[in-house]
Amino acid sequence: MRADVVEKLQAHYEKVADLHMRDLFEGDENRFTEFSCSLGDILLDYSKNRVTSETIALLLELAEESGVYEKRAEMFSGRRINSTEGRAVLHTALRNRSGRPVEVEGQAGDVMDGVDRVLAQMGTFCDAVHSGERRGYTDAEFTDIVSIGIGGSALGPLMVTEALKPYARAGLRIHFVSNVDATDIVETLKELDAESTLFVVVSKTFTTEETLANALSARAWFLERVGDVEAVEKHFVAVSVNEDAVTEFGIDAGNMFEFWDWVGGRYSIWGAVGLPIALYVGMDNFESLLAGAHDMDLHFQQAEPGENIPLLLGLLGVWYNNFFGMETHAVLPYDQYLRFLPDYLQQLDMESCGKSVTLAGEPVDGATGMIIWGGPGTDGQHAYFQLLHQGTRIVPADFIAAAESQNPLGEHHLKLLANFFAQTEALMLGKTREEAREELLVEVERGRLASQDVADLVGHKEFPGNRPSNSIFVRRLDPRTLGALLAMYEHKVFVQGCIWGINPYDQWGVELGKSLASRVFEELRDESTINSHDSSTNALVNHYKKLRRELD
Ligand code: G6Q
């Protein structure tokens, strides 16, 4: 981070760290107006953060000094900013609805030709499946889609199909298989009929062990029931950048949907990786998702810094991470359809920002990516919210809700929203010792508490407050709004990456995981005692082999 601005921010932090938001709100009736902004139907209220006007001004200076605006232009224009892999970062091209040509640095030709071609291929395929023109080997229409993939090739489609369930095509069910634990595929296939099941194998590299193992098992399950290899091509399609590996696996290139190395796995839902989404909700809704993301792309590029939603979210993240030393960030959607959003954002953010080396190859100074976690409200309130309110750690949080319920039922939505509003207020305000004492004295007056217990209880009933949150409030969780929300988080990650000087687009830790198990796997295949590892690993493996012999 730029030392001069960091010094200014550090000095400013020391002045404001102990300010209580309760006082900031009392002292400024325009606080909401100053610290909120919107894009279309998305409202971001960031007034319940531990910031003053000066904080935001200094953070915006940090953004400028860190070159966020130049890097943003480089990203959108196809420069190879993923320098450790020598790749451009152009997931924004997959949802470029402007007609503007986009070129990868050092490579002639408009990438939009390929993008449009694959979108058209997806549209034709989805139409054929939906109309019943494309059927299974016995002429049965498809009723079930099984998407096989892991990580960036799974979490996005899983999250989006759940979020857009109200838009699902009638008569189509979707299933996701990712884990190499056979339970995942066995339990999924148990319910299915081979005649009417379509498998979409999603893997950028088409070399990922888990995905290939699941795809092979799916193929074996299918052939056991069908017995005709010729039928496979009607039931298996692939999404990948690696045509050779796809055809080697036995899926015809004509049944492959392409994407490109300039799309990172966790940024890939906007193209062919979104095929399960398009199949489930229809190509028109998938295109609305793209349009929403494109809206956010334009906003991120064009909005004034002080009104720029992803920029502000990224800067707030840096503020808490690097100045307050907070370590985790919660994502709390008050919308059941967004229940997989925390998982999706966990990968997006932690895989992108979990780096400790700068682009120049030097160790970073200070902390980088926060630990992202969360879950849907109101469930969390009956579990981990205790720590949010009274624990010793402070956890900044994003609360997300929609004004309109997709399932209006009695007063459920009012109750849900009442909790959404009340929680951020309570986290911000807290409850002083005096307020807690007054409440206890009322209980004494009512004869429900002995007066001598007041002193013992008062500390437990006090809430420090001053716990920051963003409220992200949308009109309705429709495809366009969802697309904009997801792009908002992608750009938040980009901003943080720029400020920390890291590469948010590589994932060497994931690559390590992909190779680690192979040696042990070979060692597990026979009965010999091993001694090639540390004593713990040797003992664990040998213990397993002993148990396995006993079980045989
Ligand atoms: C995402 C990561 C990682 C990746 C999976 C699956 O950005 O690189 O989660 O998506 O490991 O990889 P494949 O798509 O190549 O199977």
**C-beta of 264 in contact with ligand 1 (< 6 A):** yes
Closest among 224, 221, 218 to 238, alpha carbons compared: 218
Q: Which residues contact 77 (CB under 8 A, 6 or more apart)?
A: 102, 103
How big is the chain, counted in residues?
552
Expressed in angstroms and rounded, the spacing between residue 507 Cα and the centre of ligand 1 is 9
Torsion angle, alpha carbons of 197, 198, 203, 206, to 10 = 90
Is there a catalytic annotation at residue 351?
yes
Residue 149, helix vs strand vs coil: coil
Expressed in angstroms and rounded, the spacing between residue 450 Cα and the centre of ligand 1 is 60
Interval 60-112: pLDDT, tens: 999 999 999 999 999 999 999 999 999 999 999 999 999 999 999 999 999 99
The closest-lying atom of ligand 1 relative to the alpha carbon of residue 267 is 7
Cβ–Cβ contacts within 10 Å for residue 382, how many?
A: 9
List for the chain the helix, strand, coil content (%; round to 5): 55, 10, 35
Cβ density class 413-424: b for 16+ within 10 Å, e for less: beebbebbeebb
Q: Which two tokens stand for residue 10?
A: 């550090």
Q: What is the pLDDT of residue 510?
A: 87
Spatial distance between the Cα atoms of 498 and 2, rounded to a whole number of angstroms: 11
End-to-end CA distance of the chain: 58
Bond preceding residue 143 cis, omega within 30 of 0: no
The DSSP line for 427-481 is HHH-B-HHHHHHHHHHHHHTTSS-GGGHHHHHHHH-B-----EEEEEES---HHH
> Which of 362, 382, 411, 550 is the catalytic position?
382
Expressed in angstroms and rounded, the spacing between residue 268 Cα and the centre of ligand 1 is 10
Q: Which two tokens stand for residue 364?
A: 């970073």
Spatial contact of 204 and 241, defined as CB atoms under 8 Å apart: yes
User: Could you give the count of Cα atoms lying within 13 Å of 216 in the half-sphere of its Cβ?
Assistant: 12
Measured CA distances, 408 to 41, 180, 412, 431 (Å):
20, 39, 7, 33
**C-beta of 211 in contact with ligand 1 (< 6 A):** yes
Report the amino acid identity of residue 213.
A
Expressed in angstroms and rounded, the spacing between residue 153 Cα and the centre of ligand 1 is 6
Expressed in angstroms and rounded, the spacing between residue 402 Cα and the centre of ligand 1 is 31
Place of tokens 């005692």: 529
* Burial zone of 224 (CB within 10 Å; 0-12 exposed, 13-18 middle, 19+ buried): exposed
Residue 493, helix vs strand vs coil: helix
Tell how strand 173-177 and strand 236-240 pair up: unpaired
Q: Which residues of the chain have pLDDT under 70?
A: none
Expressed in angstroms and rounded, the spacing between residue 152 Cα and the centre of ligand 1 is 5
**C-beta of 151 in contact with ligand 1 (< 6 A):** yes
Q: φ, ψ for residue 475 (rounded to 5)?
A: -70, -50
The closest-lying atom of ligand 1 relative to the alpha carbon of residue 149 is 16
**C-beta of 49 in contact with ligand 1 (< 6 A):** no
- Give nearest CA residue, ligand 1 atom 5: 151
**C-beta of 152 in contact with ligand 1 (< 6 A):** yes
**C-beta of 351 in contact with ligand 1 (< 6 A):** yes
Spatial distance between the Cα atoms of 520 and 504, rounded to a whole number of angstroms: 30
Interval 168-193: pLDDT, tens: 999 999 999 999 999 999 999 998 99
**Long-range residue pairs from 72-76, CB within 8 A, at least 24 positions apart, any chain:** 72/300, 72/301, 72/494, 72/498, 75/494, 76/102, 76/297, 76/301
- Give nearest CA residue, ligand 1 atom 11: 151
Tell how strand 469-474 and strand 42-45 pair up: antiparallel
The closest-lying atom of ligand 1 relative to the alpha carbon of residue 507 is 8
Q: What is the pLDDT of residue 513?
A: 84
**C-beta of 242 in contact with ligand 1 (< 6 A):** no
How large is the C-alpha radius of gyration of the chain? 26
Q: Which two tokens stand for residue 389?
A: 């309110």
> Which of 514, 523, 533, 545 is the catalytic position?
514
Q: φ, ψ for residue 10 (rounded to 5)?
A: -65, -45
Dihedral sign (CA 8, 10, 14, 20):
positive
Closest among 151, 291, 125 to 214, alpha carbons compared: 151
**C-beta of 204 in contact with ligand 1 (< 6 A):** yes
**C-beta of 265 in contact with ligand 1 (< 6 A):** yes
Expressed in angstroms and rounded, the spacing between residue 265 Cα and the centre of ligand 1 is 5
pTM > 0.75:
yes
Cβ–Cβ contacts within 10 Å for residue 66, how many?
A: 21
Inter-axis angle of helices 479-500 and 53-65, nearest 10: 70
Q: φ, ψ for residue 82 (rounded to 5)?
A: -85, 75
Convert 173-187 into a string of H (helix), E (strand) and C (coil): EEEEECCCCHHHHHH
Is there a catalytic annotation at residue 190?
no
**C-beta of 205 in contact with ligand 1 (< 6 A):** yes
Is there a catalytic annotation at residue 204?
no
Cβ–Cβ contacts within 10 Å for residue 547, how many?
A: 10
Residue 225, helix vs strand vs coil: helix
